[in-house]
Amino acid sequence: MRKVSSILHFIDSLNDWLGKVFSFIIVVMISIMMYEVIIRYVFNNPTKWASEVTGYIFGAHFMLGGAFVLLYQAHINMDALYSRFSLRGKAILDVVTFPLFLFLAMVLVWNGWEFFAHSLGLREHSVTMAEIPYYPFKLMIPLGGFLLLLQGLAKFTRDLTTAIRGKQIL
């Protein structure tokens, strides 16, 4: 049980640290948007890339933040029903619904990897004049899916233990 606990702690620590690091992507995005506003309205010289890049950065932020949000149980629940269950009842419900989560996370990882690999193979880039490469941003799909999958497995392990023993121990 001690080894399982240390693995779960590692997954939690990894996603906590990465979530905090990835949160600063928003600062980069805001900086680019501010630069675009100044260059466009003060110097009347708009960029060809700023709007497009901020969209890609936001997508990366969204994908990479999923595991962090799951770690802190901030995803949306049907609280009208879920909040009425006991700790054990919530754990049982989460264990029962885990196969759906697992399927969705695996789709993100598998299809996201194929999506990225295809884009990388083509050296795919935007059709705008900026010709921004897509593949670095498409890599965030399987990476975010993998981190979400890891955190989901950690949550499942805790939920299964709670469902069986009736109390949280991991």
- The answer to whether residue 75 is domain-embedded is yes
pLDDT digits (tens, 9 = 90+) for 80-101: 888 888 999 999 999 999 999 9
- The answer to whether residue 170 is domain-embedded is no
pLDDT surpassing 80 at residue 156: yes
pLDDT at 148: 97
**Model-level pTM greater than 0.95?**
no
pLDDT digits (tens, 9 = 90+) for 18-36: 999 999 999 999 999 999 9
Instruction: Work out how many domains the chain is built from and give that number.
Output: 1
Q: Alpha helices of the chain — where are they, by DSSP H? A: 2-23, 25-41, 50-71, 79-82, 87-122, 135-138, 140-165
Tell me the residue range of the domain where 122 lies.
2-165
Q: Name the average pLDDT for the chain.
A: 93
- The answer to whether residue 142 is domain-embedded is yes
pLDDT surpassing 80 at residue 170: no
**What does the DSSP assignment read for 124-139?**
-B-SSTT--BSHHHHT
pLDDT digits (tens, 9 = 90+) for 105-151: 999 999 999 999 999 999 999 888 888 899 999 999 999 999 999 99
pLDDT surpassing 90 at residue 168: no
- The answer to whether residue 55 is domain-embedded is yes
CB distance 54 to 107 below 8 Å = no
- Band (pLDDT 50/70/90 cuts) for residue 48 is confident
